[in-house]
Amino acid sequence: MEPGSSTVEGITFTTYKAESDLEPAIKLIDQDLSEPYSIYTYRYFVHQWPELCILAHTESGECAGVIICKLEAHKRRYYEGHFADGPSLNRGYIAMIAVGKPFRKLGIGRSLVRQALDRMKAMGADEVAMEAETTNSAALALYQRLGFVKDKRLYRYYMDGTDAFRLKLWLS
């Protein structure tokens, strides 16, 4: 894969199209992420923002990775000591990303994030936010290489008591 590329040799990236896409995505996310999600959570994202739900498949059709995102208006609430007036921001949010263990270190995660960011930007996103476990150094390094910055630490954010960093990327 070339530096800066959002493609990976032998991997096809597709947008969520049908309920049948959920099963392999859920399986991968359940294996990789510490938080359990209900089917309703997945459906909330994929039915409202199908274009921001991207799956990576091998040539044999195996689901190698998935990213699930959303984009919506976000009111500017508090800035430099006072409440901000003015228009809301279009905030993208990366809710879930997972890459199967056999497919890590191939650039699939980076490609999924870049494709999601490109789509959010084309849809008018001003910024993108996400959370990552403070102990997940590989993920944090990836997001920082892509331009995300640590916005704040969220203490005991996850159900197991692990802290998270809120990460943000400003697009405009």
Report the CATH number at residue 124: 3.40.630.30
Alpha-carbon torsion 127, 131, 137, 142, what sign?
negative
User: Strands of 89-99's sheet, edge to edge?
Assistant: 11-15, 53-58, 63-74, 89-99, 127-133, 164-170, 149-154
Q: Which letter does DSSP use for residue 71 in this model?
A: E
Q: How many domains does the chain have?
A: 1
47 contacts: CB under 8 Å, gap ≥ 6: none
DSSP3 helix / strand / coil % (the chain, rounded to 5): 30, 35, 35
pLDDT per residue of the chain (172 residues) written in tens, 0 to 9: 333 446 788 999 999 999 999 999 999 999 888 788 999 999 999 999 999 999 999 999 999 999 999 999 987 655 555 555 666 789 999 999 999 999 999 999 999 999 999 999 999 999 999 999 999 999 999 999 999 999 999 999 999 999 999 999 999 7
Q: Which letter does DSSP use for residue 124 in this model?
A: T
Q: Is 6 part of a structural domain of the chain?
A: no
Query: Which residue in the block uniquely carries the two structure tokens 């102990």?
Result: 135
Helix (H, G, I), strand (E, B) or coil at 99: strand
The residue segments making up the domain with residue 114 are 11-170
pTM for this entry: 0.88
